[in-house]
Amino acid sequence: MNTKPFITLGIESSCDETGIGIYSSQTGLLSHTLFSQVEIHAEYGGVVPEIASRDHIQRAIPLIKDALQESDLSLQDLTGIAYTQGPGLAGALLVGSSIAQSLAWGLNIPAIGVHHMEGHLLAPLLAESKPEFPFVALLVSGGHTLLVEVRSIGDYKILGESLDDAVGEAFDKTAKILGLGYPGGPALAKLATEGEVGRFTFPRPMTDRPGLDFSFSGLKTFARNTFAKHPDEKANIATAFEVAATETLMIKCRRALEQTGFSTLVVAGGVSANTTLRQVLDAMGEKMTVDVHYPEHEFCTDNGAMIALAGHYRLMAGQSNNDLEVAIKPRWNLEELQAI
């Protein structure tokens, strides 16, 4: 039998990374290309939305060409286009959405808008050892901290979320307080390896009461006050912050696993690249006989491969939303998605 594969092009442009991925129904991920704007925004200390949109416009087409070339494909080989429809920065989302919808229209193939966090959530399915449904997902990025009950693709129930700062945001803000620049998460994690565990003890917010919601803004304040008193102990403060943040996440994951009775945990989003978090969750998994899955490192932070994958599943299920009005969803609740 020689059926043609279904080939999905994925476009990610929700924030400060332009990511392209090409996914085949027969052989999986064929290629992916990425441009990170991190250095462009660094001098402003955070993402400047207008600059982000303009840069996506410049990068997207060359990155699509590169990804096609790497896969040895031409535009005409594509059978579907997936793009991040939300949540994210409106201008940035408009770039990817317009390109995706125009390409789909020109090629006369289906387009599908993907929820950015569903992309993160499914990224571990790009790995060789795939998580089995149902599972609890811990999504930890710069904009979101979510605990999700996942019964199948698209069947998402939010069990808990951050009431204030997302955990990635707390890493970034704490890093800024310590003068580590932007984006601070990886820099803070690096400095934390040099600190002494136990020199300072930060609180584990909201773990002393029932429930699965988070609050991380207090940790940043704790870091600021400790730094004011001990300006020479940056590394110890970074360690105290990281230990408190990761242990808080672990305590809530443990609770969510106990509550659902599930025996698989999926951890995804930018902060899932954090080594200490992986160590703490792996130790918990071993104790509870729970399988813990992470995306490969390159697919923890924003990328086009996860959007191609999520779009692939939805297109294969017959869903599409070709739309010449280019509707984006800068705010979009994960629970509104259709199960497939």
Q: Which two tokens stand for residue 92?
A: 């940035």
Residue 271 touches ligand KG4, criterion: CB under 6 A: yes
**Is residue 12 near Zn ion by the rule CB under 5 A?**
no
Q: Which amino acid is at 273?
A: A
Looking at 141, 226, 264, 320, which residue binds Zn ion (CB under 5 A)? Answer: 141
Is residue 302 a contact residue for Zn ion (CB under 5 A)?
A: yes
Cα(121)–Cα(144) distance, integer angstroms:
12
What is the separation, in whole angstroms, between the first and last Cα of the chain?
27
In three-state secondary structure terms, 53 is helix
CB of 143 to Zn ion, least distance (A): 7
171 lines the binding site for ligand KG4 (CB under 6 A)? yes
Cβ at position 114, least distance to ligand KG4 in Å: 13
Vertex 128: Cα angle to 125 and 133 (nearest 5): 40
- 195 scored as a contact of ligand KG4 (CB under 6 A): no
183 binds, among ligand KG4, Zn ion, none (CB under 5 to 8 A by kind): ligand KG4
Q: Give residue for tokens 């809530």.
A: 252
Distance CA 319, CA 298 (A): 28
| 172 forms part of the interface with ligand KG4 (CB under 6 A) | yes
Contact range with Zn ion by CB under 5 A, out of 136-144, 145-153, 164-172, 184-192: 136-144
12 binds ligand KG4 (CB under 6 A): no
Q: How far is the CB of 49 from ligand KG4 (least distance, A)?
A: 14
Query: Per CB under 6 A, which of residues 280..309 are in contact with ligand KG4?
Result: 301-302
Alpha carbons 96 and 180: distance in angstroms, whole number: 31
What are the E-state strand segments in the chain?
7-12, 17-24, 28-36, 80-86, 111-115, 135-140, 145-152, 155-161, 264-268, 291-293
- Which window, 46-54, 77-85, 101-109, 166-174, contacts ligand KG4 (CB under 6 A)? 166-174
Min dist CB 172 to ligand KG4, Å, is 5
Partners of residue 265 on adjacent β-strands: 136, 292
Residues 9 and 73: their CA atoms lie apart, in Å, by 11
Contact with ligand KG4 (CB under 6 A) among 91, 96, 124, 186: 186
The SS3 of residue 162 is strand
Q: Cis (ω within 30 of 0) for the bond into 186?
A: no
What character string, x for contact with ligand KG4 (CB under 6 A) and - otherwise, covers 40-79? ----------------------------------------
The contact set with ligand KG4 (CB under 6 A) reads: 15, 141-143, 168-169, 171-172, 183-186, 189, 269-271, 273-274, 301-302
